[in-house]
Structure formats: C-alpha cells, structure tokens
Amino acid sequence: MKKSPLKNRYALVTGASGGIGFEIAKGLLSEGALVGAHYCGNETSVERLRRYGKGQCQAFQADFSHSSEVLRLWDEFLLWSKGRIDILVNNAGEVVRPAPLEALSEELWDAAFQTNVKAPFLLSRAALPIMTRQKKGRIINISSIGVKFGGSPTTAHYSASKAALEALTKSFAKAAAPYNVLVNAVRPGITSTPIHMKAGRGDMSKRVAMIPLKRFANPSEIAEVVLFLASDKSSFITNTVIDAAGGE
C-alpha cells in the first residue's frame, strides 16, 4: 500500500473555498495531510472539502479585511492542531475593485494590501516560531503573473500587493533557512477561477492569445506546484518564486 507522503502533517490553507485554494486543500487531503481550510463567505464549498477529507479537514471562517479576524483564525487553528503547523499556504487574495490609477483611492489600496500582504505576514510571523522549533516547515505564498508584467492599468493595487508578497517571501526565507523551514512563492498565470469575472474582465480571447500554451491554467495545475513545494521532494528549494504561467 502506498504511503501518503504528507500523512498527519498539519496544513493551513487560506482562501480554500474556491479555485486554486480548493484544489490545494483537496490535494493536501489526498496526500494524507490534516487541513485547516479557511474561507470568508463560501461555506458550501468548504463543506465539500470536509466531506472529502473524512475527518481530516476542519473549516475556519475569517474576514481577512480585519487583522483581528486573521489572529482569531490562527488561534482557532492552533486549538484544532494542538499547537502544530507543518504547512502554511497563503492563498487568499483579493482584487478588491478594479479602478484606473486616477480614481484609485487610498481605501482600495489599503484593502488590497490588508488581504494580500498583511494577512500573510501575520500568519507567517505566527507560524515561524513553531516551525523553527520543529526544525521543519513549509510556507508557500500564492502570487500573481501580474507582478511580472506590472498588472493592468486598473489593477495596480492588486499587482503591487502581490509584488510586496514576493518580497515578504524572500525575507522570511532568509530568516527561516537555518532551521530547515522553506519559504517559496508560486506565481500563477491566468487561471480558470471566478476572480477574473470579479475583476470585470469580459472577452479574454486576446489575453489567452498572449500565452504560449494558448489556454488558461486549470486550478489543479497550480495546486500540483504547491503540493510539490509542500512535499519532501522540494527539500533544497527555498527563497524561490516559481512561475506556473504557460510560458509567459
């Protein structure tokens, strides 16, 4: 019988209710991990993960637009995991509301950075001491191909926040390396998720034509990269951003 590679490792996946986060959580469960699945509003989707996990998955609700909610989530996760965390996937992200630069308010800017940078910082800062004591751990941040290209004229706040997340990845990686805690980021390309509809994008054919592979990614394809980084197969990889963008 094949041994589950991540059996009994505790993982927290933020934004696990849809798209990439759902597939990451599902993949970790299939590899034997015990998964804390964070969601904001889509409880139905996380309930599917709980049924799939058959006792391995616990749902945690929190609104990352408030730091107090992030910290409450962390406390609740630790109660469930009995103080352990082996894998942290900072996947939750928010486009907020697209706006041209001349109309981009401080409120929209701050909202993007709250969810996309501050929340991952707070969770990574909390997880790091536990992982360093264990002398093992994985922190994986989900960035965006928008960092590579500077985003669109109406999503500067989103792309800038994801660029900051990549910088944060490198800072944590350097601090954590002496303790065998590996910190990396995945930079997905255009993926078939609801976030693009929320961003107000209609016909995406011209955008798809720019991708060498001429298609969107499936969320499961991004999840596979995350599963690799969460596993022992990535034992010599840290301080790295991996593009999963169809050749862009």
Active site positions, annotated: 158
**Residue type at 158 in one-letter notation:** Y
Token pair 């049924």 in the structure block, residue: 51
| 125: nearest Cα among 166, 58, 70, 188 | 70
Radius of gyration of the chain (CA): 17
**Residue type at 12 in one-letter notation:** L
The strands making up 240-244's β-sheet, listed across from edge to edge, are: 57-61, 34-39, 10-13, 87-90, 137-142, 181-188, 240-244
224-243 burial code (b ≥16 CB/10 A, e <16) = ebbbebbbeebeeebbebbb
Bridge partner list, 58: 36
